Amino acid sequence: MTIASNLATIKNTLPQNVTLVAVSKTKPVADLWEAYQAGQRVFGENKIQEMLEKWEQLPKDIQWHMIGHVQSNKVKFMAPFVNLIHGVDGLNLLEEINKQAKKHNRIIDCLLQLHIASEETKFGLDGTEFNALILDENFKKMQNIRVVGLMGMATFTGDTTIIENEFKNLKNIFDSQKNNVSHNFELKILSMGMSGDYHIAIENGSNMVRIGSSIFGGR
Ligand SMILES: *Cc1c(COP(=O)(O)O)cnc(C)c1O
């Protein structure tokens, strides 16, 4: 199977309202080119340095999504061009993104990552931390970031009931904040679903899937 045919197969199964983020982490620029030539314009990377190098080499109409855990001291390297940061899990990180966005006269769109899996290792805010963050006065003052949605990762398990429940949980939180709209907060994007579980995610309300290995092959 080629990258182009994998992409076509996946796109055929996605509803119109679902955005496909092609997760190209660890893959060579040639692979991204192939996807680009097949029409793909949204790519996801999980390391800032790697994303920067690929951004420099590829056409400028690509939208770059940072899907990995972000270290504050590296935000400055992606601030000029990143389109969406999925893994925002704290006020300090948001403050740094806001500061760097301001330097570049930009407003950077972010998703808050919620911890929905039972595994300890997954990053993200729990419900209490999420509520505290969105009520925080410092958050409300930020002018150069916009929280446009939520992101979550389900437990890595073959038990689809567990995965389903975790996605339902995130969708409920998303819906509960739908009418809570301000200058820098409006939930429109629900980023959930990867190669192994994106069908379940879409059934449970996802409108952005992050798919790597089913497009580019194993890593
Ligand atoms: C790697 C990664 C993906 C894609 O995973 P696949 O199983 O290869 O589709 C999606 N989301 C995040 C946060 C990732 O790190």
Per-residue pLDDT tens over the stretch 77-113: 999 999 999 999 999 999 999 999 999 999 999 999 9
Q: How far does CA 16 lie from the centroid of its chain? A: 18
Q: What percent of the chain has pLDDT over 90?
A: 96
pLDDT category of residue 122 using cuts at 50, 70 and 90: low
CA of 43 to the centre of ligand 1 (A): 11
Check residue 171 and give its pLDDT. 98
**Portion of the chain with pLDDT greater than 70, in percent:** 99
How far, CA to CA in Å, does 93 sit from each of 132, 184, 212?
A: 15, 15, 26
Reference 1, options 36, 170, 9; nearest CA is 9
Atom of ligand 1 nearest to the CA of 46: 15
For residue 95, report the distance from its CA to the centre of ligand 1, in Å: 26
Which residue CA neighbors atom 11 of ligand 1 most closely?
Answer: 210
pLDDT at 120 over 90: no
Largest CA distance in the chain: 51
Residue that wins the pLDDT comparison between 120 and 182: 182
